[in-house]
Amino acid sequence: DANANVFLGNPGPALVMVDPNLLKRVLDHLIANAADLTEGGTIALRIGYSTDRRLTFVVSDTGPGLEMATDAADGDLPTVFQRYHQEVIPQETVDLEAVVTLREKIEQ
């Protein structure tokens, strides 16, 4: 089990116009993704308001992260935004039920 923390940064306006369903869906996806590979580590959600009047949400974790190679083509960074790309992970660390549940949530 991972530890979870929420940090509130700079105060912003009392009311923010946002699609609550879309925001929930995005944050659920990011947090579930972090929780999937952060066994015994820490997951943090930072919420802040930047000087250029933007509300920011940052999800960070102590999981394995992306492989950063000196030649970017050899690391994971070029594929990070490709839809449905999944890193090759040793079989013993993959929870297939969690992956299927996450995909079902995203598709809804």
Domains defined for the chain, CATH in brackets? 3-107 (3.30.565.10)
Of all residues in the chain, what percent carry a pLDDT higher than 70?
Answer: 56
Give the pLDDT band (50/70/90) at residue 94.
Answer: very low
**pLDDT for the residue numbered 92:** 46
Q: How far apart are CA 23 and CA 25, in angstroms?
A: 5
What is the model's pLDDT at position 93?
44
Helices (H), 1-108: 20-36, 96-107
Helix, strand or coil, per DSSP, at residue 7? strand
The model carries a pTM of: 0.55
pLDDT, tens only, 15-68: 778 888 998 888 888 888 888 877 778 888 888 887 787 888 888 888 776 655
End-to-end CA distance of the chain: 26
**Helix-then-strand count for the chain, H and E:** 2, 3
78 has a pLDDT exceeding 50: yes
Q: How many CA atoms lie within 13 A of 83 on its CB side?
A: 3
Kindly report the average pLDDT of the chain as a whole number: 69
- Are the C-beta atoms of residues 34 and 61 closer than 8 Å to each other? yes
